[in-house]
Structures are given as structure tokens and as C-alpha cells.
A and B are shown apart, each in its own frame.
Chain A
Amino acid sequence: MYEYLRGELTERDRRMFEAHVNICRRCSSELQAIREATELLDTNLRRPNQHRNEFYWQQFADKVDRRIELDSEESSETSMIRQILESLVEHRKPFGIGFASALALVMIAFGVWSIWMRNPLSRQSTFEQSEGQAATATVQKASLDSRAQDYLEQSKVLLIGLMNTDTKTLGASGSFMQREQEISRKLVSESADLTSKLNDPSQRRLKELISDLQLILIQIANLEARHDLPGVEIIKGGIEHNDILFKINLEEIQRTTKSVAGKGETVKRTT
């Protein structure tokens, strides 16, 4: 049926299908259901990658590069151990296996120690979590941070736009903040997800800011379709009263500072 609707059937198959649908009530109603479903999807759904902004896609290849670098470092350490072991087994046959086993133990201990030293999160939780879990937690935290950053950026743009909106001219325009309301709904959904996942103590302030933003975004999303100008003024007052834009800026400054400090540390480590 789907192939028929997309015009992918051959002429012969298409005719046979149509002849059948004309006499079969069940297939006819199924075809109608599939047609309606595809129409709904065509009209309303975007491809998932379109949920990410241009900035995200510009950074994507860089993120892959960084992960490849890390992966190469790890695999070069592993292959070095393997090479040493192989050469020992080959050239020192009388003592080879015993010596190689002892060396393997030393190298594994060194590997675990180097990973432990490199990753602060792992250091804190060595006795509570396995090494793999700690690494996963670090990746998840970084990914959550980057998502929160995107969220704050989008919210900031939206709120600045709203603060600069003149309610006198707004009433005259036909589309009453439809676009802003649409974005707000998406951001509310995102903020609910973010606040449920931001459980690290270091993310407490960020979580509070996102919760504050969520309330404002819900208010924007729930504005009456037309002429709710007093509602806009109340929201503007709420943004000012809670210093939301100031808090977003503060969060951005702190992030930048952390990022610079992090880079400094990396440079120190490499030198």
C-alpha cells in the first residue's frame, strides 16, 4: 500500500492493486488509514537532525576528531603492551612466559593507574564505581552540559526578543507570537527532561535556573491566541523581577571561565 501511495509500483502492479482495492472494502479502508498517516507525517514532522541548530553541526566533526584522538591514545597504549609481550615470548623462550606474565601485570596496573590519574571523576569514585561506569558518566555529563548550553542560548534569544517586543504594535499584527509560543513549548519539554537529569551537585544552580525558565516558558506557551497583551507585560515583569537574563549571562560567564581553566590544565598536562 505504501509503495502505491508513493508511486513506487510498476504500471502493471498499480493497476492490479487498484482493481483489488475497488472491490475490497477492508483494503480500501486500510489504504485510507495509511494515506492519512503519511499526510500527517508529511505536514507536521521534521527530520530529527533539523532539531539541532547550525552551530551544533559546525561542531560535530570537531567532536568526532576529539574522540578519535582519545581512541587512538588508548589503542596505542594497548598495542605497545602487546608488542612488548610478543617480543618477549619470541626472544626469551626459556623465561619468556613467566617474565611476560609478570610484565603484563605491571603494565595493566600502570594502565589502570594512568586512566585513574587522567580522569578526576574516576578518581573520586574508584571505590564506588567501575572504571567503565565513571567514563560513561563523564561523557553523559558533558553531553548534558552541552544540551543545557543550547537550551540556555535558545531561551535567551527568545526572552530578549520578548523583552524588546512593543505590545502596542504587537496587537496590530495577525500572528500573535505564534513562533515564540511554538519554540516555548519545545523548550518546556526540553527543560523538563533536563531538570530530571541534572542531578550532579555541581549542576544545582543550573538546574534551578532551568526550572525558573521553565515557568516563564510555560506562561509564554499558554498565552491566549490573540490580544493577550496584559499577559505579555506580566511575563516581561517576571523576567525582570527574577533577573533571568542576568542569571543566564552569569551562567555563560562561568562556563567560559571553566572552559578556559580546563584548556589551561590540558596545556599544562601536555607540556
Chain B
Amino acid sequence: MPAPDEQDLITEVRRGSHDAFRVLVQTHMKQAYDIAFSVLGDHDDADDVAQEAFVKVHRSFAKFRGDSEFSTWLYRIVSNCALNRLKHRKRKLRREVELAIADNEIASINAGIRNTEDTTVHIERVLHELPTLQRAVVMLRHVNGLSTKQVSKILDCSEGTVKTHLHRGLKQMREKLQFLKDGEP
């Protein structure tokens, strides 16, 4: 069940209070953004998808029965929106080609940066090279500190799948970042 104050807000929203909905947005916007980013790996898309998810939540608020926590329901919508955006992105072949070109350009421009000792840059790169679900699980479970159960509900998969993706993702990251330990970029 939601926390009492959140339950009050939900009741207020059901009565038509837009201010209460605004408070819910402000409470959950950062987590919603993180979930969208964990799936999409792009700040622009995360911004757009997080907003889109709140609009959907507002539109279908009457459907929220309250059997689960509001946050679980909301985050599941965010995750679905993000996965849909990902599918849409893949369907747009032309855009995919453009992105590939953009990636090459970025790679050449950032050649100097890659040679720096900025560990964060390397870690972010390796994280974004992981398959979508592995990246999402690593980010939600480890970076955002959600439980296995919460992540499984958000991504609509079993807890076993979450554990497997987490283990594989972390192991792969360690292998790809071995050079940091060896001191060779």
C-alpha cells in the first residue's frame, strides 16, 4: 500500500486536483527519468519519455486500482514507454544510419578524450555498450539502489532474470574495464 501522504494525494487527484498530481510528478520525476535513461541510454529521449509517461498516467489515473504501490504502477508505465520508444527507434532504419554516422563522428572528435584518464568516461561508455536489459538492470539495481523485486516489476521479468542480467552485466563491465586496472587505455 502507498505511504499515507501519497495515498492522500492519490485521493485528491481522483477528485480532480491538479495540484496534487503536480506533487506526485515532483516526487517521482527523478526516478522516472532514471528508469527511462536506463533503458534508452540517451538524455534527450529520457526527458521526452519521462514526460510522456506522466501524461499517460494522468490520462489513465482512473484505471489505477491501488492494489500495488503508485510508484510501481508509474515506473512500469515509464519502462513500457521507454521500451516502445526503443522499438520505434529501431524501426526507423534511416535514423539508425544517421545515428551510426553520428557515433563515428563523436568517436573521432573524442579521440583525445578517450586517451584521458577520466575513468567516468570509460565506465559510461562501457555501460552503454551493454545490451538494453543488462544496462537497465545494472543501472536500476546498482546505481539507483532498487531491490530485485522492484526491478523485476518495473521491467516485467522474473527476479531470476534480474539476477542473471545483473551478474552478466557487471562481469562484462569488469572485463571491458580491465585496462583501467592494468593501467593501459
A residues contacting B by CB (< 8 A) are 1-3, 30, 33-34, 36-38, 40-41, 43-45, 47-49, 51-52, 57, 60-61, 63-65, 67-68, 71, 75, 139-140, 143-144, 147, 182, 185, 188-189, 192-193, 196-197, 214, 218, 221-222
Partner pick for B43 among A34, A51, A60, A185, CB 8 A cutoff: A51
Q: A144 → chain B, closest Cβ, in Å?
A: 7
Nearest chain B CB to A254 CB, angstrom units: 22
Q: Known: A57-B30, A61-B26. Is A37-B170 also a contact (CB below 8 A)?
A: yes
Most A CB contacts (10 A, CB to CB) among B50, B58, B170, B181 go to B170
Asked if B163 is at the interface of the complex by the 8 Å CB criterion, the answer is yes
- For the complex, what is the distance from the CA of A38 to the CA of B50, rounded to whole Å? 27
Q: Does B47 touch A at the CB level, under 8 Å?
A: yes
With A41-B123, A45-B123 as contacts: A182 and B118 at CB distance below 8 Å: yes
Q: Is the CB of A221 within 8 A of B112?
A: yes
Is B70's beta carbon under 8 Å from chain A? no
Q: A60 and B25: CB pair below 8 A? A: yes
Q: Which residue in B37, B138, B171 is a CB contact (below 8 Å) of A30?
A: B171
**What is the interface of chain B, defined by CB distance below 8 A to chain A?**
18, 22, 25-26, 29-31, 33-34, 37-38, 43-44, 46-48, 50-52, 54-55, 58-59, 98, 101-102, 105-106, 109-110, 112-113, 116, 118-121, 123-124, 127, 138-139, 141-144, 148, 163, 166-167, 170-171, 173-175, 177, 180-181
- In the complex, given contacts A67-B55, A188-B110, what are 12 additional A-B residue pairs having Cβ atoms less than 8 angstroms apart? A1-B167, A33-B174, A41-B138, A44-B119, A47-B144, A48-B43, A51-B43, A64-B25, A64-B29, A140-B44, A144-B44, A188-B109
Cβ of A45: which chain B residues have Cβ within 8 Å of it? 120, 123-124, 127, 143
19 pairs across A/B with beta carbons < 8 Å? A2-B163, A34-B171, A40-B119, A40-B177, A48-B33, A48-B37, A48-B46, A49-B34, A60-B25, A61-B22, A61-B26, A64-B25, A65-B18, A67-B54, A71-B58, A188-B109, A189-B121, A192-B109, A197-B102
- Given contacts A40-B173, A189-B110, are A2 and B26 in contact (CB under 8 A)? no
Given contacts A49-B34, A67-B52, contact A192 B143 (CB under 8 A): no
Most B Cβ at <10 Å: residue of A1, A64, A140, A188: A64
Min CB gap B92→A, angstroms: 10
With A2-B167, A65-B22, A221-B113 already in contact, the answer to whether A33 and B119 are too (CB < 8 A) is no
Compute how far the CA of A30 lies from the CA of B33 in the bound complex, rounded to whole angstroms. 32
Contacts A36-B174, A60-B25 given; does A192 touch B37 at CB 8 Å: no
- Among B34, B51, B121, the most chain A Cβ lie within 10 Å of the Cβ of B51
A48 to B55 alpha-carbon distance, docked (Å)? 21
Nearest chain A CB to B78 CB, angstrom units: 12
Complex Cα–Cα for A33 and B110 (A): 28
Would you call B29 and A196 a contact (CB within 8 A)?
no
> A183 to B17, alpha carbons, bound, how many Å?
41
Q: How far is the CB of B35 from chain A (nearest CB, A)?
A: 9
Say which residue of A40, A185, A222 sits within 8 Å of B180 (CB atoms): A40
A221 to B112, CA, bound (A): 9
Q: Measured between C-beta atoms, what is the minimum distance from B30 to chain A in Å?
A: 4
Q: Are A222 and B43 in contact (CB under 8 A)?
A: no
Q: Is the CB of A193 within 8 A of B143?
A: no
- Could you tell me if B167 and A185 are in contact, using CB atoms closer than 8 angstroms? no
A2 to B138: give the CA distance in the assembly, Å: 11
Q: Hey, which chain B residues are within 8 Å of A67, CB to CB?
A: 51-52, 54-55
CB distance from A211 to the nearest CB of B (A): 10
Q: Quick check: B38 and A192 within 8 Å, CB to CB?
A: no
CA distance A64 to B24 in the complex (A): 12
B29 touches A61 (CB 8 A): yes
* Cβ 8 A contact of B44, one of A34, A143, A189: A143
A51: nearest chain-B partner, CB-CB: B43
In the complex, the chain B residue whose C-beta lies closest to that of A147 is B44
| B110 and A192 contacting across the interface, CB-CB below 8 Å | yes
> How close is B24's CB to chain A, nearest CB, in angstroms?
10
Please indicate the chain A residues that have their CB under 8 angstroms from the CB of B47 in the complex.
Answer: 52, 143
Q: Once the chains are docked, how many angstroms separate the CA of A57 from the CA of B149? A: 28
Q: How far is the CB of B75 from chain A (nearest CB, A)?
A: 14
Question: Would you call A2 and B170 a contact (CB within 8 A)?
Answer: yes
